[in-house]
């Protein structure tokens, strides 16, 4: 190597990194971390073998871990395809030079991206490619934003009010019954939880055989963990279709199940009835009438954190606690933030049988709320039909935050289980921890 080589020396890309330091030796590999705006990229130059392409470094501030993201070339290609889609959704039949003129990026990359999009049939090319008849491009389906490699090309689908989403308006007015959730019932974004849990949701999830079986095992554990006795009173809020209420009743408890969804309650009264259970329509924000009446209050399967602010959510926990007799217990069971965040994907899609499910999510690090929109589009129709849509916004909690909240709500002797087998909580591994607190 050349001693005293300048830092800007380009003659040998590997040695130049040593700058003016006199070192005897010869590096075999150089790892370069570069700052680009508020991003960092990483690349590796090697004397032998293949260099590593420049890729984005993704830092997860929740767990302090950096990992390798997409390659810079992929990111640029996606940006270019986004810009192409953007252009073609407002103006069709554009020529290559018109696209070139409006989309930023290297011409070779723009051309390459156009070719890929045409080959993947995401956009259509018309014309003969001659002077008098140049190639012209347009979106295959003027309404939907196609997806690239399993990631949605355009991820910022979250509108201030989902009912105002232009995508929805175009495809189906909010009154369309097939839409299930999107329109009609939901007056504002903050009321998502009053609209989402309809019959279809119940049938696919909490009312399905798999969830019913799970509830049996879960209640068996909860009865033991809380030492519930015959004749004890239980408030299951929100109870959904009553899968847990029924099991508690079978153990000899007197149960009241409260839920805001009339669809869920209808199923509960038909399929999950028991002489010891009473199902009531109501909100978990309004539990005044139940003050000091219960030995156990349960809030299961991520039914906490639905409200707009931390204060509102805390009020729910406090009023659940106020429903207890002294010595009574509150159980909250919800998705764990330290488990879910490392798996977070801002956009994903899949397609089964001509039905595309697209989900766009956004996690706000400051407020710790996650908001998601899900679109189910049936491509068998022309134009493709939006069959189902929902929006939800949930506060994600860590173990420390939940324990703190329970203490503040007047609960003591807080126990945290990692699962319904009674295993210990493990950070990053426990999916839905179970918090049990006792009223002072």
Ligand X SMILES: C[S@@+](CC[C@H](N)C(=O)[O-])C[C@H]1O[C@@H](n2cnc3c(N)ncnc32)[C@H](O)[C@@H]1O
Out of 306, 349, 389, 420, name the contact with ligand X by CB under 6 A: 306
- Tokens 């909690």 belong to residue: 397
- In terms of CB distance, is 301 or 425 closer to ligand X? 301
In the list 103, 284, 287, 347, the residue contacting ligand X (rule: CB under 6 A) is: 284
With CB under 6 A as the contact rule, the residue among 43, 278, 283, 325 that binds ligand X is 283
**CB 4 within 8 Å of CB 22:** yes
- Provide the minimum distance between the beta carbon of 279 and ligand X in the complex, in angstroms, as a whole number: 11
With contacts defined by CB under 6 A, name the span among 19-27, 56-64, 300-308, 336-344 that binds ligand X: 300-308
Q: What six digits make up the tokens of 328?
A: 């009574």
Choice from 285, 309, 350, 431 touching ligand X (CB under 6 A):
285
Answer for which of 85, 137, 167, 197 binds ligand X (CB under 6 A) is 197
279 lies in the binding site for ligand X (CB under 6 A): no
User: With helix as H, strand as E and coil as C, how does the chain read?
Assistant: CCCCCCCCCCCCCCHHHHCCCCCCCCCCEEEEEEEECCEEEEEEEECCCCCEEEEEEEEECCCCEEEEEEEHHHHHHHHHHHHHHHHHHHCCCEEHHHHHHHCCCCHHHHHHHHHHHHHCCCEEEECCCCCCCCCEEEECCCCCCCEECCEECCCCCCCCCHHHCHHHHHHCCCCCHHHCCCCCCCCCHHHHHHHCCCHHHHHHCCCCHHHHHHHHHHHHHHHHHHCCCCCCEEEECCCCCCHHHHHHHHCCCEEEEEECCHHHHHHHHHHCCCCCEEEEECCCCCCHHHCCCEEEEEECCCCCCCCCCHHHHHHHHHHHHHCEEEEEEEEEECCEHHHHHHHCCCEEEEEECCEEEEEEEEEECCCCEEEEEEEEEECCCCCCEEEEEEEEEEECECHHHHHHHHHHCCEEEEEEECCCCCCECCCCCCCCCEEEEEEC
Residue whose CB is less far from ligand X, 167 or 211: 211
The only residue of 300, 330, 394, 402 in contact with ligand X, by rule CB under 6 A: 300
Nearer CB in complex with ligand X: 240/328: 240
Q: Does 393 bind ligand X (CB under 6 A)?
A: no
**214-243 mask for ligand X (x: CB under 6 A)?**
------------------------xxx--x
* Complex with ligand X: residue 174 or 238, whichever CB lies closer: 238
The single residue among 110, 145, 189, 193 that binds ligand X, judged by CB under 6 A, is: 193
- Whose Cβ is closer to ligand X: residue 72's or residue 228's? 228
**Residue with smaller CB distance to ligand X, 197 or 279:** 197
Q: Which is nearer to ligand X, 277 or 284 (CB)?
A: 284
CA distance 93 to 136: 5
Q: Does 260 bind ligand X (CB under 6 A)?
A: yes
* 257 near ligand X (CB under 6 A): no
CB of 330 to ligand X, least distance (A): 14
Among 261, 319, 372, 438, binds ligand X (CB under 6 A): 261
Figure out which of the listed residues 80, 84, 179, 264 binds ligand X, where binding follows CB under 6 A: 264
Interface with ligand X, residue 387, by CB under 6 A:
no
Among 259, 336, 338, 387, binds ligand X (CB under 6 A): 259
Task: Among 272, 294, 301, 349, indicate the residue that binds ligand X (CB under 6 A).
Answer: 301
Of 22-30, 144-152, 283-291, 428-436, which segment contacts ligand X by CB under 6 A?
Answer: 283-291
Query: Which single residue brings its beta carbon nearest to ligand X?
Result: 240
Residue 335 makes contact with ligand X by CB under 6 A: no
Contact footprint for ligand X (CB under 6 A): 193, 197, 206, 238-240, 243, 259-261, 264, 283-285, 300-303, 306
């Amino acid at each position: 190597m050349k001693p005293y080589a300048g830092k800007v020396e380009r003659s040998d890309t590997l040695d130049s990194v040593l700058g003016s330091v006199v070192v005897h030796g010869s590096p075999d590999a150089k790892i370069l971390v570069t700052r680009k705006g508020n991003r960092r990229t990483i690349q590796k130059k090697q004397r032998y073998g293949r260099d590593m392409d420049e890729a984005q470094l993704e830092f997860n501030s929740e767990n302090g871990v950096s990992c390798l993201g997409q390659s810079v070339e992929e990111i640029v290609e996606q940006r270019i395809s986004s810009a192409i889609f953007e252009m073609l959704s407002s103006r069709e039949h554009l020529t290559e030079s018109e696209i070139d003129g409006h989309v930023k990026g290297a011409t070779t990359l723009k051309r390459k991206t156009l070719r890929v999009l045409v080959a993947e049939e995401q956009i259509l090319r018309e014309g003969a490619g001659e002077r008098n008849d140049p190639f012209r491009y347009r979106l295959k389906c003027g309404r939907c934003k196609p997806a690239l490699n399993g990631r949605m090309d355009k991820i910022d689908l979250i509108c201030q009010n989902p009912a105002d989403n232009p995508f929805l308006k175009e495809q189906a007015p909010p009154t369309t019954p097939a839409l299930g959730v999107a329109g009609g019932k939901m007056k504002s974004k903050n009321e998502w939880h009053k609209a989402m849990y309809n019959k279809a949701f119940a049938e696919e999830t909490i009312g399905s055989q798999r969830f019913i079986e799970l509830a049996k095992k879960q209640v068996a554990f909860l009865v033991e963990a809380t030492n519930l006795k015959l004749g004890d009173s239980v408030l299951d809020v929100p109870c959904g279709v009553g899968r847990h209420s029924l099991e508690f009743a079978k153990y000899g408890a007197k149960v009241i199940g409260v839920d805001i969804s009339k669809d869920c309650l209808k199923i509960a009264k038909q399929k999950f009835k028991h002489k010891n259970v009473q199902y009531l329509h109501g909100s978990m924000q309004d539990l005044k009438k139940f003050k000091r009446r219960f030995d156990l209050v349960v809030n299961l399967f991520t039914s906490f954190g639905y409200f707009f602010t931390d204060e509102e959510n805390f009020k729910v926990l406090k009023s659940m606690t106020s429903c207890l007799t002294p010595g009574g217990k509150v159980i909250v069971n919800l998705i764990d933030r330290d488990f879910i965040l490392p798996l977070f994907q801002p956009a994903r899609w899949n397609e089964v049988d001509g039905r595309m499910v697209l989900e766009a999510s956004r996690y706000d690090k400051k407020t710790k709320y996650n908001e998601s929109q899900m679109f189910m589009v049936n491509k068998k129709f022309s134009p493709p039909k939006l069959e189902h849509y929902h929006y939800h916004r949930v506060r994600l909690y860590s173990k420390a935050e939940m324990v703190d909240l329970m203490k503040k709500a007047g609960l003591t002797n807080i126990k945290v289980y990692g699962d319904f087998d009674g295993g210990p909580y493990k950070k990053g591994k426990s999916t839905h921890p179970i918090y049990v607190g006792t009223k002072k």
